[in-house]
Amino acid sequence: MNSPAAAVPSEIVQSPLPRLKITEIFLSLQGEADTVGWPTVFVRLTGCPLRCSYCDTEYAFHGGTWWDIDDIVTEVLKQGVRHVCVTGGEPLAQKRCLILLQKLCDAGLDVSLETSGALDIAAVDARVSRVVDLKTPDSAEMARNRLENIPLLTARDQLKFVICSRSDYEWAKTMLVEHGLPARCMVLFSPSKSQVSARELADWIIADRLPVRFQMQLHKLLWDDEPGR
């Protein structure tokens, strides 16, 4: 069952200024998806309307600092790397995130977006690689999945399942077939740390010859859950 939905503070969604509320901007290595291992600037937006059981970025739910969007782009460019990942929280909960994504693309950067899959991705700049979650039953947020996003996914995008149990795995397999997901975009399966062992999930995928890409979060192997890494 869902945990009670947490509202995104209204000032975040409705501020009239070309600003975004930001938890942190930092340089690290991309820890997941198809750009894993690349030096990447992360722009973490504040706020999320979901409360997944395994969330590791609860510190981004509240607080943050207002930044002018142009200043965010300048800060990203200052880091001197090609890849930038806009993440959260749920970045699309702040509507002006769409402007930021467009400006980062205009600046010639390789831009990815990490999103919960609960909000509409249709208006995201087509140059952005979208990494979209499909929340499993044990995430406690399955009811928030916006299935209308699935037909919008292209070969530039990736769909990510965080697997918390064998029953989550079976559910994910059903979704693969029902929605023809592997033919649409790369599908990623990650173990939820402390709920399913990485080896167990890897063995299930091999036994079933699933057309999905197993991944472990590189940043957690390197730096555990340290914020800003």
Closer to ligand SF4 at the Cβ: 206 or 215? Answer: 215
- Return the number of the residue (116 or 129) whose C-beta is nearest ligand SF4: 116
Between 103 and 160, CB nearer to ligand SF4: 160
Residue type present at position 58: E
| Shortest spacing between CB 123 and ligand SF4, in angstroms | 19
Give binding residues for [4Fe-4S] cluster as ranges. 48, 52, 55
Rounded to a whole number of angstroms, the minimum distance from the CB of residue 156 to ligand SF4 is: 21
Per the annotation, binding residues are: 29-31, 44, 48, 52, 54-57, 87, 89
Q: In the bound complex, what is the minimum distance in angstroms from residue 93's beta carbon to ligand SF4?
A: 9
- Please give the Cα distance from 147 to 168 (Å, whole number): 17
Q: Are 77 and 145 in contact (CB under 8 A)?
A: no
Q: Which spans of this chain sit near ligand SF4 (rule: CB under 6 A)?
A: 48, 50-52, 55, 57, 88-90, 116
Neighbours of 179 (CB within 10 A): 16
CA-wise closest residue to 163 among 130, 208, 126: 208
3-state helix, strand, coil in the chain (%, to 5): 35, 25, 40
Return d(Cα 122, Cα 56) in angstroms, integer.
26
Q: Measured from the CB atom, is 35 or 57 closer to ligand SF4? A: 57
Q: How far is the CB of 7 from ligand SF4 (least distance, A)?
A: 13
Return the DSSP state at 221.
H
Q: Name the binding residues for S-adenosyl-L-methionine.
A: 54-56, 89
